Amino acid sequence: MEVVAALAGAPNVGKSTLFNMLVGERRHVGNWPGKTVEKYEGELEHHGVKIRIVDLPGTYSLGAISEEEVIAREYIVREKPDVVVVVVSAIELERTLYLAVQVLELYDRVVVAVNKMDAARKRGIHINESKLSKLLGAPVVPISAINKEGLHRLVETVLDVAQGKIHASKLRLDYDGLPYYARSLERMLVGCSSLKGYPPEWAAMRLLEGDPAMERALREEGCTALLDALEEARRRAEKELGAPPELIAVSARYEFIEKVVSSVVEKSGVAKPEFTESLDHVLLHPTLGPIVSALIIFTMLLVIFTINTGFPLNILLDAAGLHGLASLLEESSLAGLLGAAFQAISDAIAAWLASLGTPSFIVELVADGVVTGVGSVLSFLPLIFLVFIAFSVLEDSGIMARFAVLGHGFAEKIGLTGKALLPMLLGLGCNVPAVLGTRILESDEEKLLASLLAPLIPCQARLVVILVFASAFFSNPVLQALLVASIYLYAGLLVVVLSLVFRRLLLGGYQPPEIIIELPPYHKPSLRVVWWYAWDHTVHFLKKAGTLILVLSIIVWLLTAYGPAGPVANVEESYAALLGHLLTPVTAAMGLPDWRIALAFEAGFVAKEGLVETIVLVTGIGDPVSAVRSLGLTVPQVVSFLIAMSTYTPCVATLAAFYEENRRLRYVAFLVGYELAVAFFSAVLAYHVLSIFF
Amino acid sequence: MPEEYMEGLVTLSSAPPGSIVRVVRVDVRGRGPYRRLLELGVYPGATLRVVSNSLGPVIVEKNGARLAIGRRHASRILVEVLGYWAK
């Protein structure tokens, strides 16, 4: 027999931690059918019984205001899981019980897990579980998911409820005069099939409270009589009871919750001056806050960059005369290790195939095309993984919510909410997590806007290209820094201007909504949770986008290895070069008539790292800086190239991420199209304006 | 909201930091945000502590749970100042 248990809970109650602790490695991530919201499922076995755990999206209520709430509610009503485990937080019992109350009103096979008992104990908060269980009418299990405390008992209780050994009962609250108005609606509901499956009494109350999802369903079905009656009932209830029905309903729930909390929670000892209090003092300070936040993000990016490629620490070490240490750092960075590993694998396979007498073009196809293709898929992963780690640390610790509050004022000016700011900033590391990170945003408009703008932000790969060009053509470090800074500033300017344009022309004058953000208490991020989060997202991305990136890398390799005359020894005779020549009229308008640069742009489509590699390949000069210098570009040409490079089409991986988030090919086409246009015109302008001075 | 101004009441956006306030009215526009605020515990009769109120969103605390409310919303929430929080 298999038992299905759904996990429900408000954001920040530690539900994902519980999920991961319960199922360990036996979990997989996907999407809810037809949605961009992630669906986590996993399995565990307990005394020979298989339990499938479905992690519902974190929601504050079942009120159908957001997509997540609709998903959670529909799942409970339509799939009827054997048990719903509602996770609440012992340190924020009042707020997190709200969802539990709603679930208990809807469903009778419920277990309430009170999480974060360890933190509660430290703060001298005691919870009388048997009393809580009695008041809620459902079994209550105190747990500490992070310490694996109480999990055994939780699973036993889940099985007891599933097997009918423990009976929970639906919760019935006193809604003042509301049920009177709901009853007339309830009778009419029988004739409307779209809400079948919902308990009629429950559905009638929700409708009275106002429920966009249910109303939409009724409208689509053509149940206008009920909708008219509903409007009338709402109007009458508001007039006769003196308050809107939703206010009466929410107040009744909180009244109940307050009564419960005051009778089950006992506080002892003196609460220490809280950490949250003092850290919020700094982080939410109007002047100190932004400075500290900027420092945190900057430091994180530096650490990510250094682990990934060794830069910028390697340059500092080099400058300090520690050349050995600098190159050691580069070699032991993730990108260095991966590169070396794939070179070794490619060489070994080539040697092995050659020893079998395989024709040389097959050897090359496998060793250079396929293995290098796999390598280029994998070369994305360290950066994506590291940025996800940063994301997860910031989110899990509660810092992210503070960033959102702090940055909201600024984000509003570019048409986004504060929540969008962190994904965008992490785009400085890698655009893939930045685009995937926009899923935390609430409205579809904002998701689209943020994911269209995020690819404009120069990632680390582009930074490396910029630095190579800066050091190839400028010897003065001040000028180098000025060049780098101006490319970044230009990207920032584009974000501001294009946000305005998109909102006007694309999103019908969209304005960012006002924020209501919960600020969870700070806590030390759990390494396991952080690891799981980053690992799951990276693997999920690899599964979705890996094939696409691999195929495109192989195509690009084929283009460079083959020409009209078959396999070519020299890239100059390849299809890629031919295409490069075809593209030169376009690049020439940007002041870059060299076909090798057009070729580099082609390679940059797969990965921006490929730009410099291609130049190394076609010039035959091993050192990137010397290779680039041999192109003999003038100042206007360098600037034109760098502006075009940092704004033209996002790499394949970013496009795959963008498609994953927005699910519409025409949006992907629009993203590529607008970026190409912006890159072209910016570069043309930059070239001609600078040509006046140089 | 000036026409509905009542004696002794202020908007949440002008409640001083450190004050303990009781929510009197929530007039926030839009059903979504209105419901969200209620569900997160900002409903008439609820007692909140104003943690900070300077340039950005107003930050309030209710039984240890903190919430940041955008200024436009906060200016449509009417509160009564009950007293000040002593550290």
Contact assessment for residue A673 and residue A665, using Cβ atoms and an 8 Å cutoff: no
List the alpha helices (DSSP H) in A65-192.
Answer: 67-74, 93-106, 117-122, 129-136, 151-162, 178-189
Residue A328 is predicted with a pLDDT of 84
Q: What is the mean pLDDT of residues A560-579?
A: 85
pLDDT digit string (tens) for B20-72? 999 999 998 887 889 889 989 999 999 999 999 987 899 999 877 899 999 99
A401 at B interface, C-beta within 8 A: yes
Which residues does chain B have within 8 Å of residue A520's beta carbon, measured at their own beta carbons? 66
The better pLDDT of the pair A157, A313 is held by: A157
What is the Cα–Cα distance from A158 to A5, expressed in whole angstroms?
8
Q: What is the mean pLDDT of residues A576-598?
A: 93
Residue A45 is predicted with a pLDDT of 92
Which residues pair with residue B11 across a beta bridge?
Answer: B78
Dihedral, CA of residue B43, residue B44, residue B50 and residue B52, to nearest 10: 50
pLDDT digit string (tens) for A385-403? 999 999 989 988 889 999 9
Say how far residue A580 (Cα) sits from the centre of its chain. 36
Contact assessment for residue A588 and residue A566, using Cβ atoms and an 8 Å cutoff: no
Provide the phi-psi class of A285: left if phi over 0, else alpha when psi is between -120 and 50, else beta.
beta
Residue B54 is predicted with a pLDDT of 83
Under an 8 A CB cutoff, do B67 and A516 touch? yes
Under an 8 A CB cutoff, do B69 and A515 touch? yes
A246 at B interface, C-beta within 8 A: yes
What is the Cα–Cα distance from A140 to A154, expressed in whole angstroms?
9
What is the Cα–Cα distance from B55 to B17, expressed in whole angstroms?
12
Indicate if the alpha-carbon torsion angle A492, A493, A499, A502 is positive or negative: negative
Say how far residue A129 (Cα) sits from the centre of its chain. 36
Q: At what angle do helices A477-505 and A635-647 cross, to 10 degrees?
A: 40
A514 at B interface, C-beta within 8 A: yes
**A271 falls in which pLDDT band (50, 70, 90)?**
low
Q: In Å, how far is B14's CA from the nearest CA of chain A?
A: 17
Beta carbon pairs, A and B, within 8 Å: 107
**B2 falls in which pLDDT band (50, 70, 90)?**
very low
SS3 B60: strand
Residue A484 is predicted with a pLDDT of 94
SS3 A605: coil
Q: Which residues of A22-40 are buried (b: 16+ CB within 10 A; e: fewer)?
A: bbeeebeeeebeeebbebb
Which of B33, B43, B70 has the CB atom closest to A250's CB atom?
B43
Judged against a pLDDT cut of 60, whether residue A272 lies above it is answered with no
CATH number of B2-84: 2.30.30.90
Under an 8 A CB cutoff, do B41 and A254 touch? yes
Give the range with max mean pLDDT: A327-336, A530-539, A642-651: A642-651
* Nearest alpha-carbon partner for B61 in B31, B20, B33: B20
What count of other Cβ atoms lies within 10 Å of the Cβ of residue A500? 13
Helix (H) or strand (E) holding A447: helix A444-453
Q: Which residues of A597-617 are buried (b: 16+ CB within 10 A; e: fewer)?
A: bbbbbbbbbbbbbbbbbbbbb
**Considering only alpha carbons, which residue of chain B is nearest residue A10?**
B40
Q: In Å, how far is B69's CA from the nearest CA of chain A?
A: 5
User: What contacts A536, CB < 8 A, 6 or more positions away?
Assistant: A27, A29, A40
The better pLDDT of the pair A515, A88 is held by: A88
Say how far residue B81 (Cα) sits from the centre of its chain. 10
Q: What residue spans define the domains of chain B?
A: 2-84
Which of B24, B35, B62 has the most A C-beta neighbours within 10 Å, making it the best mutation to test the interface with A? B35
Q: In Å, how far is A53's CA from the nearest CA of chain B?
A: 27
Residue A468 is given by DSSP the state H
Residue A12 is predicted with a pLDDT of 87
pLDDT digit string (tens) for A425-458? 989 999 999 999 898 888 889 999 999 999 999 9
Residues 422-461 of A with CB under 8 A from B: none
What is the Cα–Cα distance from A610 to A407, expressed in whole angstroms?
34
Which residues does chain B have within 8 Å of residue A408's beta carbon, measured at their own beta carbons? 56-57, 70
Contact assessment for residue A68 and residue A58, using Cβ atoms and an 8 Å cutoff: yes
Residue A636 is predicted with a pLDDT of 96
What is the Cα–Cα distance from A558 to A366, expressed in whole angstroms?
11
Residue reference for tokens 């390494």:
A527
A280 at B interface, C-beta within 8 A: yes
Q: In Å, how far is B30's CA from the nearest CA of chain A?
A: 10
Residue A472 tokens, joined:
């190839």
What is the Cα–Cα distance from B49 to B19, expressed in whole angstroms?
6
Note every long-range contact of A279-282, with CB atoms under 8 Å and residues 24 or more positions apart, other chains counting.
Answer: A279/A522, A280/A402, A280/A519, A280/B51, A280/B52, A280/B59, A280/B66
What is the Cα–Cα distance from A40 to A24, expressed in whole angstroms?
12
Which residues does chain A have within 8 Å of residue B40's beta carbon, measured at their own beta carbons? 60, 95, 516, 518
Residue A38 is predicted with a pLDDT of 82
Which of A94, A273, A286 has the CB atom closest to B54's CB atom?
A286
A284 at B interface, C-beta within 8 A: yes
Q: At what angle do helices A371-397 and A527-561 cross, to 10 degrees?
A: 150
Under an 8 A CB cutoff, do B67 and A254 touch? no
* Nearest alpha-carbon partner for A401 in A285, A515, A517, A301: A517
Q: In Å, how far is B34's CA from the nearest CA of chain A?
A: 9
Using CA atoms, how far residue B77 sits from A359, A368, A390, A491, B12, in Å, is: 78, 65, 36, 39, 6
Under an 8 A CB cutoff, do B39 and A406 touch? no
The answer as to CATH 3.40.50.300 being correct for domain A2-162 is: yes
What count of other Cβ atoms lies within 10 Å of the Cβ of residue A624? 20
Q: Which residues of A290-314 are buried (b: 16+ CB within 10 A; e: fewer)?
A: bebbeebbeebbeebbbbbbbbebb
Residue A552 is predicted with a pLDDT of 81
Q: In Å, how far is A364's CA from the nearest CA of chain B?
A: 59
Which residues pair with residue A45 across a beta bridge?
Answer: A50
What count of other Cβ atoms lies within 10 Å of the Cβ of residue A44? 18
Residues 3-22 of B with CB under 8 A from A: none
Residues 21-80 of B with CB under 8 A from A: 26, 31-41, 43-46, 51-52, 54-57, 59, 62-73
pLDDT digit string (tens) for A321-331? 888 888 888 88
Residue A368 is given by DSSP the state I
Which residues does chain B have within 8 Å of residue A63's beta carbon, measured at their own beta carbons? 35, 39
A579 burial level (CB within 10 Å; 0-12, 13-18, 19+): middle
Residue A195 tokens, joined:
């809400």
Under an 8 A CB cutoff, do A94 and B33 touch? no
Q: In Å, how far is A54's CA from the nearest CA of chain B?
A: 25
Give yes or no for a cis peptide into A312 (omega within 30° of 0).
yes
Which of B43, B51, B55 has the CB atom closest to A247's CB atom?
B43
**Considering only alpha carbons, which residue of chain B is nearest residue A290?**
B56
pLDDT digit string (tens) for A117-146? 988 888 888 899 989 999 999 999 999 998
Contact assessment for residue A196 and residue A237, using Cβ atoms and an 8 Å cutoff: no
A351 half-sphere exposure, CB direction, 13 A CA radius: 6
Computed over every residue of chain A, the mean pLDDT equals: 89
pLDDT digit string (tens) for A325-384? 888 888 888 888 888 888 888 889 889 988 988 888 788 888 877 887 787 777 778 888
Residue A381 tokens, joined:
């992963």
Residue A465 is predicted with a pLDDT of 92
Of all residues in chain A, what percent carry a pLDDT higher than 90?
Answer: 51
Contact assessment for residue A408 and residue A417, using Cβ atoms and an 8 Å cutoff: yes
Residue A149 tokens, joined:
């405390």
